[in-house]
Amino acid sequence: MMPRLGINIDHVATLRQARGEGYPSVVEAADVSLRAGADQITIHLREDRRHIQDMDVDAVRLVTMKYGKPLNLEMGCNEEITDIACATGPEWVCLVPENRQERTTEGGLDLISDENFERVKATCERLQAEGIKISLFLESDLETLKRAALLKPKAIEIHTGEYARKFTAGEDISNFIEDYKVARDFLVSEKIGCHAGHGLSIESVMPLVENKLFEEYNIGHWIVCRAVFDGLGNVIKRFKEIFDQG
């Protein structure tokens, strides 16, 4: 089966927020992405609101509904953001760690800490009660994945940031491929979806697709950057071609 492609449009909002203007439009970005063949739209409503704003969530949700495609809302375990998620009703929520000092998401959720596990569990239960499917953003660590399975998520999104950095630097990535295979096999055995995201480019995604490691990829920053030169729709179409070729 061809993997799904989720387009993260956060950095369209980053450009908008840099000048405080009404452009570029995240609504248009979602529309262009879905017309070009994207399988879902991903946005991250952070506690610090550094890019996506509250009003964007409803606006982008309407676009995904028009196309009959899912909205994947990334968020931390924050009560205010959880309220917004419950009110908006995205198909998916991907729970991620947040740190106000970070430049971008730096790694997966810590589920080994009992305190943090219980915090994530409470957020999961509230969202699941609203019929929202849960994905957890995690490292490909088997102990963490086993803890995650106790929360009954629909999917795990494996953090590929370090892999992507090593790939770009021309370093050996074989250990990542093997770790991802172990993670995939465990998640398949638990009937949990195996997704991937963070830091991926059109080049670094190829070994993952060739090895049939993940059923969904959520990619944003590289796509938005490349769109400056090639156009958003064209970049997305190229990704879909690669996915189709396998």
Active-site residue numbers? 44, 74, 198
Identify whether 24 is preceded by a cis peptide bond (ω within 30 of 0). Answer: yes
Strands 40-44 and 92-95: unpaired
Residue whose token pair is 């409503």: 45
CA angle 217, 44, 171 (to 5 degrees): 45
CA dihedral 207, 213, 215, 217 (to 10 degrees): -40
Distance (Å, whole) CA 246 – CA 240: 10
| Nearest-10 Cα torsion for 9, 15, 19, 20 | 0
